[in-house]
Amino acid sequence: MRAVIQRVKQASVAVDNQVTGRIEQGLLVFLGVGPDDGPADAAYITDKISNLRIFADDGGKMNRSVLDITGGILLISQFTLFGDCRKGRRPDFSQAAPPALAKALYEQTIKNLRGLGIPVQTGIFAADMQIDSVNDGPVTILLDSKKLF
């Protein structure tokens, strides 16, 4: 699984001009699922997202997690994180998981995060979504459950 994590002051997602998720301070997370991913990858990503220390402490040092600040997470499924652009000009998405697997692991990640007490808002899986966010910092972190980067 791959995740792009952005520290935000606020973020929202809309489908067909209807807001389906909105958070204030917290994390905007774009999540992609690969064909070889499974529950262990969802657990790894959940642990990293929830405990990533990228919020400032009283001294201004990035030392707090989304759990520490009682922030929210806006979790968006995004198969394009597995787009391969090394050849040609059109991305190849053959390394993205099939929809059934991707949806199951996306939903498992939501369940895992909520199980930690984190308020999680979402888009709609496989929908055309419009995302609004106010990045904080900006701070953007890339994660890969296979530890490729």
122 is a catalytic site residue: no
Q: Is 113 exposed, middle or buried (0-12, 13-18, 19+ CB in 10 A)?
A: buried
Please give the Cα distance from 149 to 146 (Å, whole number). Answer: 8
What are 40's strand-pairing partners? none
Q: Out of 20, 46, 70, 80, which one is annotated catalytic?
A: 80
Q: Interior CA angle at 48 toward 19 and 123, to 5°?
A: 15
Phi, psi of 60 (to 5 degrees): 85, 5
Judge whether 3 and 129 are in contact, CB under 8 Å.
no
Q: Which sequence positions are flagged as catalytic?
A: 80
